[in-house]
């Protein structure tokens, strides 16, 4: 058993922390809003009133917060966790942030006698609940091996991708693929509906062929029903697409399709739909096609 501080108990972090409890770890959780902490306590974990209190005396801390600035504040702020962790402690950041920020946070950790891994995840809320996440990790190989049993309690595909920032680079590529796939599934659904096809039957046969993908498996039913309760919010995917487009430009890599999808996600967010699931890209396709939710012109 390892005592783990878990900072950030949202849609993803909450079930991940609960799965660490199920795996036998002593988990101390902190979240800005108290309800997720209460859920963790009900699941067998412990609660803390601050991040500093959560990390007191622990050897491992996991952070799962929304953006780069949040990670920097939690780790490096005047009362951040790096000011309270014991020498040699391991920080596993499972947020999705800029690769360069992950690298700089890791450097700051080393300067303080700490260790850091960037370990963003893919698989959405359901993957977090099922402990079936894909986890891409950047950092020192020895630190990765130490962290592996913890990561395997929340994910089924756990891979070391290289030095600090590598996990975030792979996650950026992941978000590029996911956004593009959601957009194509949305276009296919609106196309099928325009022709009056039995869309549930169509999705079944498409999922069984070369067009099969996780988006069809996990998102198509909600898209057909126009149910966009978030597993992963448009706001967060908008942030991630900003990361991948900026990183691609920095290296001179052209991502024309990704750039278009990034604009469509930005459009949806600008219309006030940032709190919806990213599968709500379907709404933009409907708007551009001049069709209402019933598929009628």
Domain ranges of the chain: 3-164, 169-289
Active site (annotated) includes residue 171: yes
Does the pLDDT value for residue 297 go beyond 50?
Answer: no
Torsion angle of C-alpha atoms 133, 91, 30, 37, degrees rounded to 10? 30
| CATH number attached to the domain at 169-289 | 1.10.1040.10
pLDDT tens-place string over residues 181-197? 999 999 999 999 999 99
In terms of C-beta distances under 8 Å and separation of at least 24 residues, what long-range contacts does 209-218 make, across chains too? 213/181, 213/185, 214/181, 215/178, 215/181, 215/182, 215/185, 215/279, 216/185, 218/124, 218/126
Residue 244 pLDDT > 50: yes
| Residue range 59-79: mean pLDDT, rounded | 95
Higher pLDDT, 296 or 209: 209
* pLDDT confidence band for 293 (50 / 70 / 90): low
Q: What is the pLDDT of residue 1?
A: 74
pTM across the whole model: 0.92
CATH superfamily, domain at 3-164? NAD(P)-binding Rossmann-like Domain (3.40.50.720)
> Average pLDDT for residues 131-144, to the nearest whole number?
98
Interatomic CA distance for residues 93 and 91, integer angstroms: 6
* pLDDT tens for each residue of 2-22: 999 999 999 999 999 999 999
pLDDT in tens, 144-171: 999 999 999 999 999 999 999 999 999 9
* Catalytic, out of 171, 219, 239, 283: 171
């Amino acid at each position: 058993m390892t005592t783990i501080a878990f900072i950030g108990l949202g849609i993803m972090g909450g079930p991940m922390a609960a799965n660490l409890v199920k795996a036998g770890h002593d988990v101390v959780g902190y979240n800005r809003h108290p309800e997720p902490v209460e859920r963790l306590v009900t699941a067998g974990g412990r609660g803390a009133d601050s991040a500093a209190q959560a990390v007191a005396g622990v050897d491992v801390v996991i952070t799962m917060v929304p953006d780069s600035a949040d990670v920097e504040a939690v780790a490096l702020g005047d009362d951040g966790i790096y000011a309270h962790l014991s020498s040699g402690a391991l920080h596993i950041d499972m947020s999705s942030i800029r690769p360069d920020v992950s690298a700089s946070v890791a450097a700051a950790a080393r300067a303080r006698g700490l260790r850091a891994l960037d370990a963003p995840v893919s698989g959405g809320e359901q993957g977090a609940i099922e402990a079936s996440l894909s986890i891409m990790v950047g950092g020192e190989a020895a630190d990765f091996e130490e962290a592996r049993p913890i990561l395997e309690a929340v994910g089924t595909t756990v891979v070391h991708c290289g030095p600090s920032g590598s996990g975030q680079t792979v996650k950026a590529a992941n978000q590029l693929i996911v956004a593009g796939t959601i957009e194509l599934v949305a276009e296919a659904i609106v196309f099928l509906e325009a022709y009056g096809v039995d869309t549930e039957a169509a999705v079944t046969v498409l999922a069984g062929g070369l067009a099969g993908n996780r988006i069809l498996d996990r998102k198509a039913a909600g898209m057909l029903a126009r149910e966009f309760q978030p597993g992963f919010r448009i706001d967060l995917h908008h942030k991630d697409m900003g990361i991948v487009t900026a990183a691609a430009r920095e290296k001179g890599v052209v991502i024309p399709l990704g750039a278009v999808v990034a604009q469509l996600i930005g459009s949806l967010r600008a219309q006030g739909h940032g709190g919806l699931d990213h599968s709500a890209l379907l709404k933009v396709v409907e708007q551009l096609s001049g069709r209402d939710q019933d598929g009628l012109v």
